[in-house]
Amino acid sequence: MSVLMVAILFSCSENKSTSADTVEEKIDSLLSVMTLEEKIGQTWQVSGTSPEIVQAIRNGGVGSLLNVTDPAELNAMQRLATEESRLGIPLIIGRDVIHGFKTIMPIPLGQAASWDEKMVEAGAAVAAAEARSTGIHWTFAPMLDVSRDARWGRIAESLGEDTYLTGVLGAAMVRGFQGESLSSPTSLAACAKHFAAYGAAEGGRDYNTVDISDATLHNVYLPPFKASADAGAATFMVSFNEISGIPSSGNRELVTDILKQQWAWDGFVVSDWASVMEMIPHGYAEDAAHAAELAMNAGVDMEMQTTAYPVHLKELIEQGIVPMEQLDDAVRRVLRIKFALGLFEDPYADEQVNFDTLPAAHLEVAREMATASLVLLKNEANILPLNVQSTRVAVIGPMADDGYEQLGTWVFDGEERHSVTPLTALRELVGNDRILYEKALAYTRDTDRSSFAKAKRIVLQADAAVIFVGEESILSGEAHSRADITLPGAQAELIREIKSAGKPVVVVVMAGRPLALKEIEPWCDAILYAWHPGTMGGPAIADVLFGESVPSGKLPVSFPAMSGQTPLYYNHKRTGRPADPGNFTYMEDIPVRAFQTSLGNTSHYIDAGYAPLYPFGFGLSYTTFEYNALTCSDSLLTADGTLQVAVKVKNTGQVAGQEVVQLYVHDRVGSLTRPVKELKAYRKILLQPGEEQEVSFGISPEMLAYWYNGEWITEPGEFEIFIGTNIDNVLGCTIRFTE
Ligand code: GLC
């Protein structure tokens, strides 16, 4: 550490306490001696360690690195920063640790299917412990983009289509990553991203235009970010997209007025990769200098990867186009997080760290999370669970034994060699002699049907077929949106061919999005949705298939029957002509030369109806649950009151099972039209066979509020309250709110 830095750090106070005041005093002292170039250096994050970057680090011209993961290399860069630069300010090292570092958890969309915030927090904590040990301090997660369009590749990284669930689980990830203290050797600074409304891209096409109302922005897309800010997220990342004509990287109202002022949030904001310079192709910035001006004045404190800040900020400050106060605030925010992370004490990595063997405790977290993420969508005649003592299984399909593809998108550091595939796990569970195997397709997009006959032959030797299909990991994630979200390649034909063998067919789907399964559904006796389940996906799937575990996952997204139904989400508006199950005609039933009539003119598709194949919140178990006796403590709710709504839930089956009891509300009439239902609370409970529990929820005026014309309001009137096992299967009551 440079002599000057030592003097500064200890000039403020004798003790090394990192109390907020002391830290602010240290930052004041640093700012007072920093040159303009050194201040600008703190606002620049760059990928790699080229000779130019190394020299810039020596000059104090770099605040952060990303995509550098070798501990020895990171330590070398830290030594340049702390021992050779004039002030010795350490680097903050960022990395996309999205759903695991070496031990890979299910993709976030799969984690959301667990509806288990404690488990999601535990998964993030495992990722943080592994990554921090290698010298990484900061992860670009959680991704909090509410995702209503299954065509969008990044739905895989999201926590689903619901605002409330995304907020609860996103905050749990922040807590898991950041732990009790950012300075802990097992903590990472979190990054709430992509701020904001990236998931509203038109057509589900990545990076596409977002054009939404202020009400939709505030009621649907911002609350999960507020929840993460309240949970203490150290950083935010702005999104690539525009919102109604203004790219987020230049949106001062979003980044400064709302995030930094209204929410009183004191972390720092980083751009998303080249999003600062992308304001030029957006047609919002004239050139790089203008992009730097727009971004810094909007409140983007650090530029990732591109060089608008290091090249142009100096002259913008000297010309007064960017106020020095704006730059000072950005630098203050960056230094605040570096102090909180303890980087001035110890920014170094453990060069001996080794991940040849993953910690058993981490693998157990991954296995439990993968098990909890599995959603049983169909189980005709209770074909599942299979009999672990006797069933002979033909395992078929491209996803049965692919340790790379099961990890999913955004896996930079996870290694295939650690994966336990379903085939391996099934053989371990029931023995090699009762597991037959034929891949049949080399990968999910494969259309070579030449092995189908061989696959069918082994099915004829078995009691049941389990077919593992889905998407390779690269078919979702950034820049990988699909217009047709059916099974790729010849997978559907494979299922049909195997079904023709006349044995029970179980289909396990591993994918990064809800797939449109209408065509294959009739050929499946059971469907188990596994998302991309991560390192321990195999044992989790094997345990559920053979009843060692009971499925408990619930859908965090609606499943379209057909691609053309997207975007499809449960909390939609009623419209003036709500879709009516009893009042529309499917295309094939419309008489030839039918006269143009208004019959059936409700909001639906004549070739797909309007309903999802599987609704939000849906998921089967190996037991059954009965809901009854919904009670409401009062039918009147006043502005200073609360009331209780309760229901009795009974396990009416033969095995213990977990159930996610969901609470929805519907505001009947509003100054703005309101969604047909909105999730406002849930409770995951375990019930033994025959056990009954009363589950109650408090209803408060705040729970019924929505954003309208700049404020959150709860308007007098009737509200329907629903409690149930999924969005379509609920008990309800009506209350009235009066001021
Ligand atoms: C990418 C992604 C963002 C990621 C960043 C750094 O383009 O949009 O989510 O964190 O760049 O890799």
Of ligand 1's atoms, which has the minimum distance to the CA of residue 157? 9
Amino acid at site 327 = L
DSSP bridge pairs for 400 = none
In the reported structure, the alpha carbon of residue 139 is separated from the centroid of ligand 1 by a whole-number distance in angstroms of 10
**Closest to 468 in 3D by CA, of 438, 448, 428:** 438
**Closest to 338 in 3D by CA, of 102, 96, 15, 65:** 65
674, 737 contact by CB (below 8 A): no
The residue whose CA has the least distance to atom 7 of ligand 1 is 273
Query: How many other CB atoms are there within 10 angstroms of residue 247's CB atom?
Result: 27
Residue 140 CB–ligand 1 contact under 6 Å: yes
Q: Look at residue 16 in the predicted model and tell me its pLDDT.
A: 43
503, 546 contact by CB (below 8 A): no
In the reported structure, the alpha carbon of residue 97 is separated from the centroid of ligand 1 by a whole-number distance in angstroms of 11
In the reported structure, the alpha carbon of residue 272 is separated from the centroid of ligand 1 by a whole-number distance in angstroms of 6
Residue 161 CB–ligand 1 contact under 6 Å: no
Of ligand 1's atoms, which has the minimum distance to the CA of residue 143? 9
Query: How many residues does this entry show for the chain?
Result: 739
Alpha carbon dihedral 113, 117, 118, 122, in 10-degree steps, equals 70
Residue 95 CB–ligand 1 contact under 6 Å: no
544, 551 contact by CB (below 8 A): yes
282, 247 contact by CB (below 8 A): yes
Kindly tell me the burial class for residue 492, based on how many C-beta atoms sit within 10 Å of its own C-beta (0-12, 13-18, 19 or more): middle
Q: Look at residue 413 in the predicted model and tell me its pLDDT.
A: 98
| Strand-pair category, 717-726 with 729-738 | antiparallel
Residue 314 CB–ligand 1 contact under 6 Å: no
Say if residue 194 is preceded by a cis peptide, omega within 30 of 0: yes
What pTM was computed for the model? 0.97
DSSP 106: P
286, 279 contact by CB (below 8 A): no
In the reported structure, the alpha carbon of residue 240 is separated from the centroid of ligand 1 by a whole-number distance in angstroms of 9
DSSP bridge pairs for 505 = 465
Of ligand 1's atoms, which has the minimum distance to the CA of residue 67? 12
Question: How far apart are alpha carbons 537 and 566 in whole angstroms?
Answer: 28
Handedness of CA 335, 336, 339, 340 (dihedral sign): negative
The residue whose CA has the least distance to atom 12 of ligand 1 is 96
93, 67 contact by CB (below 8 A): no
**C-alpha distances in Å from residue 556, one per residue of 374, 378, 471:** 12, 17, 19
In the reported structure, the alpha carbon of residue 100 is separated from the centroid of ligand 1 by a whole-number distance in angstroms of 16
Residue to probe by mutation, ligand 1, list 136, 273, 302, 480, most atoms within 8 Å of CB: 273
Buried b (16+ CB within 10 A) or exposed e, 147-180: bbbbbbbbbbbbbbbbbbbbbbbbbbbbbbbbbe
Of ligand 1's atoms, which has the minimum distance to the CA of residue 98? 10
What ranges in 44-199 are assigned the alpha helix state H? 51-58, 71-79, 108-112, 117-132, 163-178
Q: How many CA atoms lie within 13 A of 697 on its CB side?
A: 20
658, 686 contact by CB (below 8 A): yes
What ranges in 420-502 are assigned the alpha helix state H? 422-430, 452-460, 491-499
In the reported structure, the alpha carbon of residue 412 is separated from the centroid of ligand 1 by a whole-number distance in angstroms of 12
Scanning the structure block, which residue is given the tokens 């239902």? 677
Of ligand 1's atoms, which has the minimum distance to the CA of residue 194? 9
Residue to probe by mutation, ligand 1, list 45, 69, 96, most atoms within 8 Å of CB: 96
For residue 488, give the 3-state DSSP assignment.
coil
Helix axes 163-178, 117-132, angle to 10 degrees: 40
Residue 554 CB–ligand 1 contact under 6 Å: no
The residue whose CA has the least distance to atom 2 of ligand 1 is 272
Residue to probe by mutation, ligand 1, list 272, 303, 413, most atoms within 8 Å of CB: 272
Residue 67 CB–ligand 1 contact under 6 Å: no
**C-alpha distances in Å from residue 126, one per residue of 101, 354, 388:** 8, 15, 32
Q: Look at residue 584 in the predicted model and tell me its pLDDT.
A: 79
Query: How many other CB atoms are there within 10 angstroms of residue 43's CB atom?
Result: 26
Residues of the chain with pLDDT under 70: 1-21, 598-600
**Closest to 731 in 3D by CA, of 596, 589, 629:** 629
Alpha carbon dihedral 591, 595, 599, 604, in 10-degree steps, equals 70
Say if residue 247 is preceded by a cis peptide, omega within 30 of 0: no
Model confidence pLDDT, tens digit, residues 231-257: 999 999 999 999 999 999 999 999 999
Question: How far apart are alpha carbons 702 and 36 in whole angstroms?
Answer: 46
Residue 278 CB–ligand 1 contact under 6 Å: no
Query: Which residues are known catalytic residues?
Result: 272
In the reported structure, the alpha carbon of residue 207 is separated from the centroid of ligand 1 by a whole-number distance in angstroms of 12
Q: Look at residue 10 in the predicted model and tell me its pLDDT.
A: 53
In the reported structure, the alpha carbon of residue 200 is separated from the centroid of ligand 1 by a whole-number distance in angstroms of 17
